[in-house]
Amino acid sequence: MMADPHSDDPALDEQRMQFVFELRRCGVTDTAVLNALERTPREQFLEGLFRARAYENTPLPIACGQTISQPSVVGLMTQALDVTKRCKVLEVGTGSGYQAAILSPLARRVYSLERHKPLARSATKLLERLGLVNVTVIARDGSRGLPEQAPFDRIILTAAAEDPPANLLAQLRVGGIMVLPVGQSDTVQQLIKVVKTESGLEYKDLGDVRFVPLVEGLAEDV
């Protein structure tokens, strides 16, 4: 299980306290989401010199040319997803595994798809080391979703699509929620929340973001 957020390092405790203050300032107010963010050791999802910047509210580079998302954006996306302990969640774009780690204590089950095999392997090892046994990371084309486990209560994309992918919406149950960035990869994108109802889809704009584009197919990483 993840460690208590309070450590024997006063400087680290101060960083985490300021981290939570900044998240609140940015609009992350859900107590369960804030607790998950505070208890998740973001430094373990980073390498080298970037570990010292773990509690800055900024995206940072990880392997395979990808990034770990800005913590406030992770918080706002998770908050909008409105996850409960009964939810089965699909994440498209594991990356470092940080978003999946935040979802883990909030959900019943998390399936996370990653097209870069090295990222999938490293995220799996780290999540296991943190004791997050309800997360399954799978190396596969995330744009196709995971139809064998559908329907999902919640779906989150950490890569930008031009529009909400129809095949992923088909894997979302009625009453379910999808949160994703939409827009062209070279422009400012919009973070949107989609609620699937009996009569159709309801959309809510959550603000401007910038994510890597959603790419089809498995990457050619070893």
> Is residue 69 annotated as part of the catalytic site, yes or no?
yes
Give yes or no for a contact between 142 and 114, defined as CB atoms under 8 angstroms apart: yes
Supply φ then ψ for residue 189, to 5 degrees: -105, 165
- 7, 69, 72, 96: the catalytic one is 69
Give yes or no for a contact between 192 and 172, defined as CB atoms under 8 angstroms apart: no
Residue 134: DSSP 8-state: T
**Residue with token string 């949107």:** 192
| Distance, CA of 10 to CA of 170 (rounded, Å) | 48
Among 63, 11, 15, which residue's Cα sits nearest to residue 42?
Answer: 15
Residue 68: DSSP 8-state: E
The residues assigned a catalytic role are: 69
